Amino acid sequence: MKKPLVLLVILVLCCCTTFAQLPANCSQAVVGIADSWDSSVVSLSLVEKQANGRWMRVLGPVQGRLGRSGLVWGLGLHANPRGATTKREGDGRSPAGIFRIGGLWTTHKTPVKHHRSIPEVRVGPRDLWVSDPSQPQLYNRHIRLNHPASTPWELKEQMRQTDYAHSIKLLICHNTQETPGRPVVGAGSSIFFHIWRHDGAAPTAGCTSMAESNLRSMIERLNPTRNPVYILLPRAEYTRLRSPWRLP
């Protein structure tokens, strides 16, 4: 093999393992596997890395629901394939890849048990989550007004107050401030884990949903000191990327 070709192969391998793997200090992950890019059904498990370096499933697998149109590459900790189609606002797809897991947003009357380091926001009438691409400085961000939402725009962007499915929400950090260089306007917003609708009979608009009991169990187990992430991929992609991305 000629030297230039050898160097190219080494460079490609380095890129795969350096720029598209789990964070070195990650020892906890929610793993979501869908049958295909067009599937809105997902199998979810919570796994943890043991002292010997091996990953062990501690919760699941349980069934969840994804976007009504399936999955598409999102913006997170991973490197998307060159030229890949990526998440867009309103496409009805859940973002695929590796994402940090953020804070908790609740209106549920029953408290959610969670690690003290996970911030919780009790959502009220002043809380907005902006999905309007015409507001680039606010896009995909939480905004708390100094007054209850009242204008048509504020009411449109207002976080839901009385929707059971959204009474417990855990942020999936797709295209958020937690990811360097984000948010990208129009690349998808307001992606959460939340309670599913109609006992799982309905897909989401792009989030990941599951039964309330499973969501509560997952949140209770999550520990920010273990740098947890969400890995969501179609089965074939997970199999292909498991080794180079060092997936569980």
Closest CA relative to residue 45, chosen from 30, 34, 33: 30
Per-residue pLDDT at 12 exceeds 60: no
Q: Which residue has the tokens 């793997």?
A: 21
Per-residue pLDDT at 5 exceeds 80: no
CB 100, CB 76: distance < 8 Å:
yes
Mean pLDDT of the chain: 91
Confidence of residue 178 (pLDDT cuts 50, 70, 90): confident
CA distance to 76, 94, 99, 103, per residue, from 80 (Å):
9, 15, 12, 25
Share of residues in the chain with pLDDT > 90 (%): 85
Closest CA relative to residue 219, chosen from 183, 245, 193, 191: 193
Share of residues in the chain with pLDDT > 70 (%): 91
pLDDT digits (tens, 9 = 90+) for 92-127: 999 999 999 999 999 999 999 999 999 999 999 999
Confidence of residue 177 (pLDDT cuts 50, 70, 90): confident
Amino acid 180: pLDDT: 66
